[in-house]
Homo-oligomer: A and B are copies of this chain.
């Protein structure tokens, strides 16, 4: 599958779309814009971020913030309190455990259940 085609069905920012499964992990993509993403962490799971397009601000509690750009890869280790934002639109590829709850189960305007992360 071609990643840019997979983005065409995504209308909302911060709404992950599952595009595949590799063993016990989901492969997801998301468009990021704005500051709606709340601070959260995953107690038991790491997450990989790979920046496909644009610039993504990654804030990690008690660490220096990173402005990631296309080609940057970052692994948010379990327990790291973090949030993502983007002034302009950025596009990312994510690898997450199937057990991960979006935003660690925090209910916000952007929270999506796993079922909602499967697009037609």
Which residues of A does B touch, CB under 8 Å?
1-4, 19-25, 27, 45-48, 50, 71-75, 93, 95, 97
Contact = CB atoms under 8 A, between A and B. Distances in A.
B73 A47 contact: no
Given A3-B71, A23-B25, A95-B95, 20 more contacts: A1-B72, A1-B73, A1-B74, A2-B72, A2-B73, A3-B73, A20-B48, A21-B46, A22-B46, A22-B47, A22-B48, A22-B75, A23-B24, A23-B45, A23-B97, A25-B25, A27-B48, A27-B73, A27-B75, A50-B50
Label chain A's interface by main secondary structure.
strand
Can you tell how many copies of this chain the complex includes?
A: 2
A48 to B, nearest CB: 5
Contacts of A46: 21-23
A20 B47 CA distance: 11
Contacts of A48: 20, 22, 27, 95
